[in-house]
Structure 1
Amino acid sequence: MVFTIALTACASDKEVNPLHQEEAIPVTSHTPIYVNMINAEGIKTGNATLTETKEGVKILLEAEGLEPGTKAIHIHETGKCEAPDFKSAGGHYNPGQRQHGFNNPKGFHAGDLHNIEVTDKGTVNVEITAPNVTLKQGEKNTLLDEDGSALMIHTQADDYKTDPAGNAGNRIVCGVISKK
């Protein structure tokens, strides 16, 4: 029964997008991307699952070992997470060349996301939708370009207006988003 359902789902995808039938595409927009989140010591502290939806990219994030409180989370432009400072991930993902922040009249970056809450136990389990990005390869705002991108948690909350990073503080947890 499960096998039949899986075949039906694949056939449906081909009917909806017949132009891609002959192409060998390693990642489709329906393929989840799994991201290992590491801390500044290079130790895995959680994971994220990214999935394409009609509303944008859905991010399911689970992490532990964080300081409690409100934290900024952003998508950064390069898929590199070199501890301890994660500067290898570059700036915020910003294909539109805008300024930072939802409250900035010249903003916001495609990689700007709403703050997350870390519990008193140091954990976070949240679903976020990034409406201005995609996992569809070849699109202008894809997270899966040649150098990938990164999901980043910062020490402080994002103020949603200060360019370039919302006064969010240091980068403390990072995960590479790539098609590999």
Structure 2
Amino acid sequence: MKIGSRRKQAVASAIVIAGALALGGCAGMGKKAATTLPVADAHAQLYDAKGADRGRADFYRDTNGLRIELVARGFAASTYGMHVHSVGRCDGPKFTTAGPHWNPTNAQHGRDNPLGAHHGDLPNLVVEPDTIGRATLTLVGTRLTGEGGLLDADGATFVIHAGPDDMKTDPSGNSGDRVACGVIVMGGG
């Protein structure tokens, strides 16, 4: 090998090493500390009648009212009614202690009912085959605490029913038995 070739090879190696060092340095630039999700203002851990974990509903205050982020586990592919109920108790097996739907304005039930809907009405949860049920819901004009707030003296619950809500039949939308329930508590837990 000629001396000139060695020099070209050394220069080429130096460029490769310098480039690698520069890229490594750049890779660290602009990196932020681990991103953290906002902590929920309240949450409800959902359980079925046997005490099995069935998911979680996180509640966040926002400019429109309350946003609910739901993750529902262990549900077969189907459509399920969901409601906010007026009492903070989930005694199994039927969860009737959760009381009726949360209805601070004494409206009728159902988004398709000309005399409805009340604040506890929510859209149906649709679970596709082989998936976890997820939904983002908004309770417009709803406060978490304070006068007229969701978490009053006897609390509130998040309930998933066995069947779909027909969105018009008062008082429950013909959504069937209560199959998962969670007491709504302050904080992200």
TM range (shorter): 0.7 to 0.9
Partner of 1:27: none
Q: CA deviation at 1:139?
A: 2.3
Partner of 1:45: 54
- The one-letter code of the counterpart of 2:48 is N
2:97 aligns to what SS in structure 1? helix
- Pairing 1:123–2:123 present: no
- Aligned residues, how many? 150
Q: Which runs of 4+ in 1 moved over 4 A?
A: none
Q: CA deviation at 1:55?
A: 1.6
CA distance in 1, matches of 2:141, 2:176: 23
- Pairing 1:138–2:146 present: yes
- Pairing 1:173–2:180 present: yes
Query: RMSD of the TM alignment (CA)?
Result: 1.8
> Judging changes above 3 Å, is the alpha-carbon distance between structure 1 residues 31 and 126 closer, same or farther for their aligned structure 2 residues?
closer
CA distance in 1, matches of 2:115, 2:124: 20
TM-score by length of 1: 0.78
Q: CA deviation at 1:40?
A: 1.6
- The one-letter code of the counterpart of 1:159 is D
Partner of 1:56: 65
- The one-letter code of the counterpart of 2:43 is Y
Q: CA deviation at 1:78?
A: 0.4
Q: Percent identity?
A: 39
> Judging changes above 3 Å, is the alpha-carbon distance between structure 1 residues 84 and 113 closer, same or farther for their aligned structure 2 residues?
same
- The one-letter code of the counterpart of 1:35 is A
Which stretches in structure 2 are left out of the alignment for 5+ residues?
1-31, 33-38
> Judging changes above 3 Å, is the alpha-carbon distance between structure 1 residues 153 and 132 closer, same or farther for their aligned structure 2 residues?
farther
CA distance in 1, matches of 2:58, 2:166: 26
1:117-154 deviations in whole A, cap 9, x for unaligned? 1121252122111114221x2221x1111111010111
CA distance in 2, matches of 1:79, 1:133: 17
CA distance in 1, matches of 2:150, 2:57: 14
Q: Is the 8 A contact 2:40 2:58 kept in 1?
A: no
CA distance in 1, matches of 2:120, 2:141: 8
Choose 1 or 2 for highest CA Rg: 2
TM-score by length of 2: 0.74
Q: CA deviation at 1:43?
A: 1.7
Partner of 1:65: 74
Which stretches in structure 1 are left out of the alignment for 5+ residues?
3-29
- The one-letter code of the counterpart of 1:179 is M
Partner of 1:23: none
- Indicate which of 140, 147, 166 corresponds to 1:159: 166
